[in-house]
Chains A and B, each alone.
Chain A
Amino acid sequence: MADVFPPDTVRCDACPVLCYIKRGHAGACDRYANIEGQLVRVDPHVLLDRAKSQGTPLVPFLEREGDWDGKIMKGQETFVTAIGAGTTYPDYKPAPFIVSSEVEGVDMVTVVTEGIFSYCGVKLKIDTDRHLGPERNLVRAQGEPVGHVTTAEYGSQMLSLGGVHHLTGGSKSEGRVTCETLLDLCNGKEVELTIDEGASVRVAAGKPPVVNGQREERMRVGCGSATIGMFAKQWYGKVDDVVVVDDHITGVLSEHQAGKLLGVRETGIAIQGRRSTPGRYFQVAEPGTGWGGTNISDPLTILKPFKAKFAWPHLRLLMVSTTGEQFAYYELDEELRPVEKELPDALKESVGRIRENCEPALTTVLFMGGAGGSLRAGVTENPVKLTDSVKRKLTRVTCGGAPAYIWPGGGITFMVDVTRMPENAFGYVPTPALVAPIEFTLKKDDYKVLGGHVDYVRPLGDVLKEKERQRQILSHAQNPWPLKPFVESSES
């Protein structure tokens, strides 16, 4: 019978069902799979197992060291995240896991729960200078409003998505689509968004944005004018004039304030486009994929002829784009016509520096949510004390082990970079609302003082014995270790 199947089908003999498993598929149990023609035991699907066992503790761990051998488990090297831990909803009861561990001689407690957040959303920072749409305009996914364009930041366009009004204040499908959009963005998946009277973007956390089908590669170092300001000193004396070609503002060294201050001699250079202030030009060309986001391929097309009144033979001219990706060096001949020459070594460094100051263009996704009543009740019998403890930095808040920024003021409103959280850390409930992991770590003594559910504290070692349903993963390299001792001075 085996002959009937392709050669890369394997027969699993882990149980008497003896499944034939095709390449890339799993057997009836979902535990054994055919990976590249080999029978391999695969981890149970984290979420599936959780559903199946109706909230059986399934705890991914964040592990500090990569060389864990599975035998010796040092408490401070394992951190129980809330991912898959379950929630306290709808009962006001202790959090699913309250774990104690000893860290450098101090007894610590981590309260681990998954929060259900209907007050939540994401802030998207999209590194691009392209106009995505007017501020305040609606951002849509699958045609449903899911957020709006908010105040642009330097080199980046900002979107604010989600929030309680889109999740539960609009139509059913608006809520559903908003929830899906937030969930996908938080879990690192790509989402397509359209902005009213604006662009269509494809965005995913930590990936370059795609604007109207065009992928952004690098952020420019600054606009053309800013670039003049940044590099004027490095150019002074090595070149007579510099034009930084930019679709937004093209800068000219000899006219620019920075050049004037250095005493750069007037060259009488004349640029196409609309002059804004001295040395700053708008609309030198059409937007495009050429020099500095314009449609220019030959930079001389934006220059008008040099005049004998100002210019002189052998005048040295550098033209460069705001990313340093394009550059050209010219010297004027006796008739004041620019002749392209090899870039002198003295200028190479500055062009290289423009390039290296252009960071990769990314979309960043910050999840923002507020931890309210039932969640805090899972930590302590007196929820306001938790807020107070967090504000006083006696309690550390992490999301799947990633550090959370706590907003000043009332409540526990926090932001976290989703790329620093483990994969697929987020879930949802059809309320609709997002489910996000949240952990509170504090000293055991402090936990007692704030009215914690001390009777429910379990030693880390006990939790670790439940290995069957756990997944160990490495801690994100950039994250501070969630259990690292607290700074004593914060006690005041």
Chain B
Amino acid sequence: MREPALIRMLPDGRRLHLHDGPIDLIIEADGDSRDVSAAYEAAARRFVSILDELCAELPLLRSRAGENFRRPQGAVAQLMFGAVEPYCEDCFITPMAAVAGAVAETILESMLGAASLERAYVNNGGDIAIHLADSCRYKIGMVERPDRPSLFGALEITAKDPVRGIATSGWRGRSFSLGIADAVTVLAGSASAADAAATVIANAVDLSDHPGITRIPARVISPDSDLGNLRVTRGVGPLSDSDVAAALDSGRRVAESLRARGLIHSSALRLQSRTRVVSHSLVHASIEFSQRSLLHA
């Protein structure tokens, strides 16, 4: 009953939708129409084998990255490992922390290898690889809770910014989190790097021993989770202002150290309607968090 991969244009006629198992990509490319077609075709060709490639090494990719870690074979798997390697000494992390970003990045590379595009994005469930040619830009909205999709901020990325990947992680998302952030959005040089960093920062937005936080061993929920018996966040009650500040500050410290190490470009941390921004001062990407102007719709 293996379902074939889904390849189709969305009804707007502009975006390509690729779906296979847990991978769901929305792709849009801008440029000459022949280039766009060639890029979409390349994306689809690359896409059809990607899930099988990953699954061939799945047990390895689900194990902790560390000293004795055997390097994976597949191209996507290698991107994943490369993205989590900087963190493996300091914390528990498996290459799966970067799987979504690595897939997006791989598909985007295949598109750029086949065509010359003005701009393009590959959105893998919120982990996004982007391409921007000269003077192009993308406007991106940020969502804090997938169950209440609404923008809490917007940012703009231009070709000059060293940002080619965006990722968001939080306990309410599809993947497990060890932290309590509603959403941590990271901008980095690649989608896989952003994905791994968002996971690490979201894990760090946390309070220890807080009675309002429910945690359950990952295996209890998902028997084959790469997080094994680590306790993942399943519920966060209302927190006091000082608790929210403490948890966000803990995440911010990690985000700042990652930025100092050159692993990320900037990050927005969101918890119970409060936000912290860690942003590079020298670049153009701006993150707006001011209360949006009232709309009397």
A279 contacts chain B at the CB level, 8 A cutoff: no
Interface members, chain B 2-17 (any A CB < 8 Å): 2-3, 8, 10-12, 15, 17
B2 — which chain A residues lie within 8 A by C-beta? 13-16
A282 contacts chain B at the CB level, 8 A cutoff: no
Q: Are B22 and A28 in contact (CB under 8 A)?
A: yes
Which residue of chain A is the closest to B272 with respect to CB atoms? A176
Q: Are B52 and A435 in contact (CB under 8 A)?
A: no
Which residue of chain B is the closest to A4 with respect to CB atoms? B223
Q: Are A372 and B150 in contact (CB under 8 A)?
A: no
Enumerate the 10 nearest inter-chain pairs by beta-carbon distance, A residue then B residue, closest first: A15-B21, A51-B149, A16-B55, A29-B22, A28-B22, A20-B223, A429-B150, A116-B297, A466-B11, A375-B297
7 A-B pairs besides A56-B15, A431-B292, A465-B11 with CB distance below 8 A are: A30-B22, A51-B143, A56-B26, A118-B294, A118-B295, A119-B296, A433-B297
**With A and B bound together, what is the CA distance between A172 and B150 in angstroms?**
17
**With A and B bound together, what is the CA distance between A431 and B295 in angstroms?**
8
CB-defined interface of A355-383 with B at 8 Å, one 1/0 digit per residue?
00000000000000011111100000000
B contact face: mostly helix, strand, loop, or mixed: loop
B220 — which chain A residues lie within 8 A by C-beta? 22
Q: Are B143 and A14 in contact (CB under 8 A)?
A: no
Q: Are B149 and A47 in contact (CB under 8 A)?
A: yes
20 interchain pairs, CB-CB under 8 A: A5-B223, A14-B2, A15-B22, A20-B223, A21-B223, A28-B174, A28-B222, A30-B174, A45-B147, A52-B26, A53-B17, A54-B26, A54-B141, A57-B12, A118-B296, A142-B238, A183-B148, A372-B296, A374-B295, A462-B11
Task: From the candidates A9, A57, A373, name the one contacting B297 in the complex (CB within 8 A).
Answer: A373
Chain B residues with a Cβ closer than 8 Å to the other chain, count: 45
Using a CB–CB cutoff of 8 Å, the interface residues on chain B facing chain A are 1-3, 8, 10-12, 15, 17, 20-22, 24, 26, 51-52, 55, 58, 123, 125-126, 141, 143-144, 146-152, 174, 220-224, 238, 273, 291-292, 294-297
Q: Are B221 and A22 in contact (CB under 8 A)?
A: yes
Which residue of chain B is the closest to A15 with respect to CB atoms? B21
Q: Are A48 and B51 in contact (CB under 8 A)?
A: no
Q: When A28-B22, A427-B149, A466-B11 are in contact, do A89 and B297 touch as well, CB less than 8 Å?
A: yes
Task: From the candidates B22, B125, B152, name the one contacting A430 in the complex (CB within 8 A).
Answer: B152
Q: When A115-B297, A172-B273, A465-B11 are in contact, do A25 and B221 touch as well, CB less than 8 Å?
A: yes
**With A and B bound together, what is the CA distance between A29 and B222 in angstroms?**
12
A257 contacts chain B at the CB level, 8 A cutoff: no
Task: From the candidates B152, B224, B295, name the one contacting A90 in the complex (CB within 8 A).
Answer: B295
The distance from the CB of B188 to the nearest CB of chain A, in whole angstroms, is: 20
A123 contacts chain B at the CB level, 8 A cutoff: no
The distance from the CB of A174 to the nearest CB of chain B, in whole angstroms, is: 12
Which residue of chain B is the closest to A436 with respect to CB atoms? B297
A19 contacts chain B at the CB level, 8 A cutoff: yes
Q: Are B149 and A20 in contact (CB under 8 A)?
A: no
A79 — which chain B residues lie within 8 A by C-beta? none
Which residue of chain B is the closest to A29 with respect to CB atoms? B22
**With A and B bound together, what is the CA distance between A373 and B293 in angstroms?**
14
Q: Are B273 and A430 in contact (CB under 8 A)?
A: yes
Q: Are A48 and B147 in contact (CB under 8 A)?
A: yes
**With A and B bound together, what is the CA distance between A125 and B52 in angstroms?**
57
Task: From the candidates B21, B221, B297, name the one contacting A372 in the complex (CB within 8 A).
Answer: B297
Task: From the candidates A14, A52, A371, A431, name the one contacting B291 in the complex (CB within 8 A).
Answer: A431
Q: Are A17 and B149 in contact (CB under 8 A)?
A: no
A168 contacts chain B at the CB level, 8 A cutoff: yes
Which residue of chain B is the closest to A49 with respect to CB atoms? B24
Task: From the candidates B3, B141, B150, B294, name the one contacting A168 in the complex (CB within 8 A).
Answer: B294
Q: Are B148 and A56 in contact (CB under 8 A)?
A: no
B152 — which chain A residues lie within 8 A by C-beta? 430
| Best-buried of B22, B125, B152, B291 by chain A (most CB within 10 Å) | B22
Q: Are B273 and A176 in contact (CB under 8 A)?
A: yes
Which residue of chain A is the closest to B128 with respect to CB atoms? A54
Q: Are A117 and B297 in contact (CB under 8 A)?
A: yes
The distance from the CB of A13 to the nearest CB of chain B, in whole angstroms, is: 6
Q: Are A16 and B147 in contact (CB under 8 A)?
A: no
A229 contacts chain B at the CB level, 8 A cutoff: no
